Amino acid sequence: MLLSDQDLLAAISGGRLGIEPFDEAMLQPASIDVRLDRAFLVFEHPIDYSAGHGRGARLLVTAASQWLHATTGRIATCAHSWMTAVHWVTDCARRGLYAPSSSHSPKWGPTTIAIAQEIAALKECRPSVAYLARKLKVSPRTVKYHLAMLRETGLLVYRSKGTRISGVGGRASVFERTIPAEFDQALGIRTVGEGATRRPVGAAEEHRGLLGKLARKAARKTRRRPPRTSSSRPERCTPMQGGTSTVSPAAGTHSPSEAKLASGEGKSPTPKSSNRGPRKLNRVGRRYQLAGELIAMVPWLKGASRARIAWIVRHCADAGWTALEVQAAAEQEPISANAARRPSGLLAWRLGGCHQLYNTPARRKTMVQAWQDSRAAEQARHTGYDQLATADRTASRVSVRALVTEAFRRTKQIAHGPVDEADCFEIPVDTAPEPVALESLDRDLVKTMRAEAAADPAVIWAALDTGMPEREARRLFTGWLVDQALAARRRAELAPAF
């Protein structure tokens, strides 16, 4: 509510508002100008009294005063006196006189006291976060939160702050256990000396009972509440459990003996049921799963980093690709010598933009089918080369060599021009001819046949038309010549007639 100058003057005249000394020159249209006196109060302790740190917060030392040279507290003479101050701060926090400055920080409680007890037991106040977390079975982040609360209440100050700067090394922070000045003021403790090195010499009579209670608390070991288990349901009593006086609802059921249960001859009348369904991987888990399958499946990815491969195939994993589809996309083209690089780099180069090109399952299926066909053809070519290299180059039948040579000679003559009937000859064929094995052909004969096929693709056409399987033709004439001949035939069939 705002008061006008007339209302303010009437309130002062009626005694409802008092200002001493008061001058009418101080009166403004809707306010009164007040002036400072010659003396005013100065707070020596850097304590934050703002309401933003919790309702009723009184103990809150700023970060600038959490150092030994800037603290208003005094160094604790022993661990017991320091724990007495810790329990006094616990009572203050319980009454609402302290609240952590961080909104997501845990509250002051048994964990804070347990950490303080571990710090009090140290000869040199140089607590390791990892040591405290391992000793108290809490997370390192929890330890950091409670150390911050001990500093905010003035119980811990820095002597030197740790650092991870390169060249200096992992240097831990060194603290000093201090007793806040508010503790001395609240309990009437008299001290002598100056600064942080002052020492207590006595206490007020009316506060000695409270000091005794705090001292007894400091002498006791604080027990933390045991952590919660994963299941809070009480243990169910079954006939297999003995020594219970309670009546089980399953007491009337018949249970087989332990020998039958162990041998598998009997089943328990109360089987365990699990409500847990199948585990579902999230997006990151699916990426790592696909990376593991690729490393185990693709030979040239053996030994690669799983995390690196998971990052490379992240787009494919998010789109639902399988390991076979990723391998087909990466091996569509043969790897040349110019593309030699580390496996992860080669995979990233080959998969660039593939998740956008093959964005449907049908396209990926076509890609995989083409890749499998090319691998089968390549395997057939390598098998043919290996068989030709390891087989006996001497033909088992000399007549076969003569017939093939004469057939090629006649085919060449027919291609260059007509041949008289007298120049032709007949090759006797048995009613059940014996198949000719390619391994029986001489090396020179194979070279001649390939040279003839390279000059005239009609030779390969004739071989295929007469019933020679394409696989055998690829072994004999090489896969490249057969592909060229088939392509020439397709072009001839698709060529327009005019």
| 35 and 64 fall within a common domain | no
Nearest residue to 117 (alpha-carbon basis) of 157, 159, 146: 146
Is residue 156 one of the residues assigned to a domain?
A: yes
What is the predicted pLDDT for the residue at 85?
93
- Determine, yes or no, domain membership for 237: no
Is 273 a domain residue? no
- The token pair at 372 is 């499998």
How many CB atoms are located within 10 Å of the residue 123 CB?
6
Classify residue 143: in a domain, yes or no. yes
pLDDT value of residue 165: 62
- 368 and 319 in a single domain? The answer is yes
Instruction: Note whether residue 238 is domain-resident.
Output: no
Per-residue model confidence (pLDDT) at position 56: 40
| Same domain, yes or no: 84 and 124 | yes
Do both 32 and 58 map to the same domain?
A: no
What is the domain-level CATH number for residue 211? 1.10.10.10
Copy the structure tokens of residue 308: 């690196």
The predicted pLDDT at position 75 comes to: 92
What is the number of domains present in the chain?
Answer: 4
185 & 68 share domain: yes
CA distance 34 to 471: 108
Nearest to residue 271, comparing CAs of 260, 282, 261?
261
Cβ 270 vs Cβ 250: under 8 Å? yes
Strand partners, 157: 176
Query: Do both 352 and 205 map to the same domain?
Result: no
What is the predicted pLDDT for the residue at 26? 82
487 and 359 assigned to the same domain: no
For residue 278, is it within any domain? no
Domain boundary among 319, 349, 384: 384
Among all chains, which residue has been given the structure tokens 């299926």? 365
- Do 26 and 75 lie in a common domain? no
pTM: 0.39
Helix, strand or coil, per DSSP, at residue 396: coil
pLDDT at 432: 43
In contact, 255 and 269? CB cutoff 8 Å: yes
What is the DSSP pairing of strand 74-75 with strand 174-179?
Answer: antiparallel
Q: Are residues 346 and 490 in the same domain?
A: no
Give the list of residues 6+ apart from residue 209 with CB closer than 8 angstroms, or none.
none
Model pLDDT, residue 414: 60
- Chain position carrying tokens 């090394």: 169
Amino acid 84: pLDDT: 92
Q: Give φ, ψ of 27 to 5 degrees.
A: -75, 130
Residues 100 and 188 in one domain: yes
Clarify whether residues 4 and 73 are in a common domain.
no
Query: SS3 of 177, please?
Result: strand
Beta strand 189-192 pairing with 156-160? unpaired
Which of 6, 112, 20 is closest to 59 using CA atoms? 112
188, 219, 250 — which closes off a domain? 219
**Of 231, 218, 264, 242, whose CA–CA distance to 79 is shortest?**
218
Q: Is residue 66 part of a domain?
A: yes
Please provide the distance, in angstroms rounded to a whole number, between the alpha carbons at the two ends of the chain: 103
- Give the pLDDT score at 325: 93
- 140 lies in the same domain as 199: yes
Phi-psi region at 324: left, alpha or beta (left = phi > 0; alpha = psi -120 to 50): alpha
Mean pLDDT by 10 residues, the chain (498 residues): 79 81 80 71 47 50 88 90 92 88 86 92 87 91 92 91 66 88 90 89 88 88 63 49 46 56 57 66 91 91 90 92 91 69 84 88 90 82 61 51 66 60 54 58 84 87 83 86 86 62
Task: Using the structure block, give the residue that is written with the tokens 């055998």.
Answer: 472
Q: What tokens appear for 130 in the block?
A: 């990892």
* Model pLDDT for residues 347-378, shown as the tens digit of each residue: 888 888 888 889 899 999 988 988 888 888 87
Q: Is residue 28 part of a domain?
A: yes
* Structural domain boundaries enclosing 442: 407-494
